[in-house]
Amino acid sequence: DAGVIQSPRHEVTEMGQEVTLRCKPISGHDYLFWYRQTMMRGLELLIYFNNNVPIDDSGMPEDRFSAKMPNASFSTLKIQPSEPRDSAVYFCASSSTRGAPRETQYFGPGTRLLVL
């Protein structure tokens, strides 16, 4: 398996622009997580899905952030409009409650976002 795939790997945009981050989880995994990592705040969970359904989005900073999972193999995290304080590394991770090892989280390589 190719692991969790994220695109783009790097994104530089100007304040006010829309940003869309993409994630393909490991095939067969039923949980998908979006995280944000900054030096100031460390690693924060933004939202997670179970079987394509959003379960908890309490970590989403504000209405400018939205996430979707239209099917089991694809998820997006959108920021509209983007602001400089959104600059961070955004990780997607997936896990499975079936098979072994159960519930181990597998992370993608991340998207480094810089908002100017």
40: Cα separation from own chain's centroid: 19
Q: How far is CA 73 from the centre of its chain?
A: 13
> Shortest distance, CB of residue 79 to other proteins, whole angstroms?
20
Residue with Cβ nearer other proteins (81 or 109):
109
Q: DSSP E strands: which ranges in the chain?
A: 5-7, 10-13, 19-24, 31-38, 42-50, 53-56, 65-71, 74-79, 88-95, 106-107, 111-115
Looking at the chain, list the stretches that DSSP marks H as alpha helix, in order from N- to C-terminal side: none
Give phi and psi for 22, each to the nearest 5: -125, 150
Q: Which positions touch other proteins (CB under 8 A)?
A: 4, 31, 33, 42-45, 48, 50, 55-56, 59, 91, 93, 101, 103-110
> In whole angstroms, how close is the CB of 95 to other proteins at the nearest point?
9
**CA 58 to the chain's CA centroid:** 14
Q: Which is nearer to other proteins, 59 or 81 (CB)?
A: 59
Least distance in angstroms from the C-beta of 8 to other proteins = 15
Nearer to other proteins (CB atom), residue 14 or residue 56: 56
State the nearest-atom distance from the C-beta of 65 to other proteins, in Å.
Answer: 17
Question: Based on CB atoms, which residue is closest to other proteins, 25 or 110?
Answer: 110
